[in-house]
Amino acid sequence: MKGIALVAVGAVAVVAVVLTAYVAGLFSNEGVPYAPVINPDDFVDQIDNPYLPLVPGTTYIYEGVSEDGAERNEVQVTNDTKVIMNVTCIVVWDRVWLEGDLIEETFDWYAQDKDGNVWYFGEDSKEISNGVVVSTEGSWEAGVDGAQPGIVMLGTPAVGDEYRQEYYKGEAEDMAEVLSLTESVTVPHGSFDDCLVTKDWTPLEKGVAENKYYAQGVGLVKELAVEGGTGYMELVDVITS
């Protein structure tokens, strides 16, 4: 995944749910073996997690600045699907421009389970220079060559939750931790309260991290580099068709 160039009886029930989640590989940190259990019957057709709704026909427009210059990011939820590990995934078309030049084009594959967790099943990523594809580094597909899907948004996030967003050893190992559920943020598209904030990083790039802000009913509204660099990306428009 890309960032800049997430009562006594009741208590017993909660503990049981958390333990079950750990067994299934829902939560994971860098030092824990990762082996999520994927049952196609546990997945649903739509992605309606309030923090990351992915409705076909929706395009998110982001603008910001990286250390290399001004960037624009267009993320389009397509009507296309791709079956991976017998799970039908929604295809999301993601493109990045730097100073007006297209530098990256990616097709991402997402699916949601019955508990509302949004899973990431891989990506077909192309780095572009002067209109020519120069690299496909970072591409991976769950179930191929040991790659495993991860979770990009929890169904019931809680502060302190840490989880893998993707896993292809040595190539794609993004992690996230929930920092807050009550943040307020203002971006060109509007002002939002009670936002979910995650810290995203990868053990493949030590000392580099960014915070991501998600608004309920909208999705990702802001990315901000917090370690190992500078830069930000903010939501400027949402287009539906």
Q: What is the pLDDT of residues 110-121, one digit of tens each?
A: 999 999 999 999
Q: What is the pLDDT of residues 66-116, one digit of tens each?
A: 999 999 999 999 999 999 999 999 999 999 999 999 999 999 999 999 999
* 218: pLDDT strictly greater than 90: yes
Task: Give me the pLDDT at residue 32, please.
Answer: 74
Nearest to 190 by CA among 234, 241, 232: 234
Q: Looking at per-residue confidence, does 65 or 30 come out higher?
A: 65
Q: At which residue do the structure tokens 């749910």 appear?
A: 17
Q: Which long-range contacts (CB under 8 A, 24 or more apart) does 63-66 make?
A: 63/188, 63/233, 63/234, 63/236, 64/4, 64/223, 64/231, 64/232, 64/233, 64/234, 65/231, 65/232, 66/4, 66/5, 66/98, 66/231
CATH of the domain at 20: 2.40.360
Is 1 a member of any domain? no
The fraction of the chain above a pLDDT of 90, given in percent, is 84
Q: At which residue do the structure tokens 């299934």 appear?
A: 24
- List, as one string, the DSSP characters of 13-43: HHHHHHHHHHHHTSS--TTS-------GGGE
Work out how many domains the chain is built from and give that number. 1
Task: Give me the pLDDT at residue 33, please.
Answer: 79
CB 182 within 8 A of CB 213: no
Is 93 a member of any domain? yes
| Domain hosting residue 208, numbered range | 8-39+52-240
Task: Give me the pLDDT at residue 1, please.
Answer: 64
Contacts of 10 (CB under 8 A, 6+ apart): none
Is 47 a member of any domain? no
Q: How many CB atoms are closer than 10 A to CB 116?
A: 18
CA–CA distance, 194 with 2 (Å, rounded to integer): 24
Up-side HSE of residue 8: CA atoms within 13 Å toward CB? 0
> What token pair was written down for 213?
């802000």
pTM for the structure as a whole: 0.88
Nearest to 167 by CA among 182, 146, 189: 146
Reduce the DSSP state of residue 178 to 3 states and report it. strand
CB 77 within 8 A of CB 59: yes
Q: At which residue do the structure tokens 């990315």 appear?
A: 223
